[in-house]
Copies of this chain bind each other. A is one copy, B any other.
Amino acid sequence: MKNVKEAAITKLEERGVTINDIATIVYNIQGSYQNITVDDCKEMVLSIISKRETLYTILTGIAIDEIAEKGLFDPEINKIITDDNSLYGLDEILALSIVNMNGSIALTNFGYLDKTKPGIIGQLDKEGKSSTKCHTFLDDIICAIAASAASRIAHQVIKK
């Protein structure tokens, strides 16, 4: 899976998302509960991303966004995806493949991040709405990774 991991991280960067962007969100939601650094958060984000389920979801979600951006899906479904209307819902469902693996704190964090859209999540959402970019799946995937990393940190620290 090492090549797949490198491919996923490169893809994220191509689409405008760095590990640091995600770690910053994790730090902002979890740092007030625990004595952690942004570097701790980075490490945990990388650990979440290393899992097979996360890698497949990143690659699949970005692949759908890119094809929709190019307009290669059938017109009807292509427009539904690029519009990213709030009733579409499959972007949140796909992100659950990551969230589900990481416990119930991941679930509540996911909903919170999806609604408040801090940092890079808000940027992706705005870019997806105003330009020729489609980030319908990517923004939810970033929510899921950040929510899962925060959940894992909470579990680790409490276990100590």
Contact = CB atoms under 8 A, between A and B. Distances in A.
Interface of A: 1, 4, 7, 11, 52-53, 56-57, 59-60, 63-64, 66-67, 72-74, 76-78, 80-81, 85-90, 92-94, 96-97, 100-105, 107-116, 154-155, 158-159
A24 B109 CA distance: 23
Tell me the number of copies of this protein. Answer: 4
B111 A116 contact: no
Nearest to A88: B56
29 contacts: A7-B76, A11-B74, A52-B87, A53-B89, A56-B89, A56-B90, A59-B74, A60-B64, A63-B73, A63-B74, A63-B77, A64-B64, A66-B74, A86-B158, A87-B105, A87-B154, A87-B155, A92-B108, A94-B94, A96-B96, A97-B104, A109-B111, A109-B115, A111-B111, A111-B113, A111-B114, A112-B112, A112-B115, A112-B116
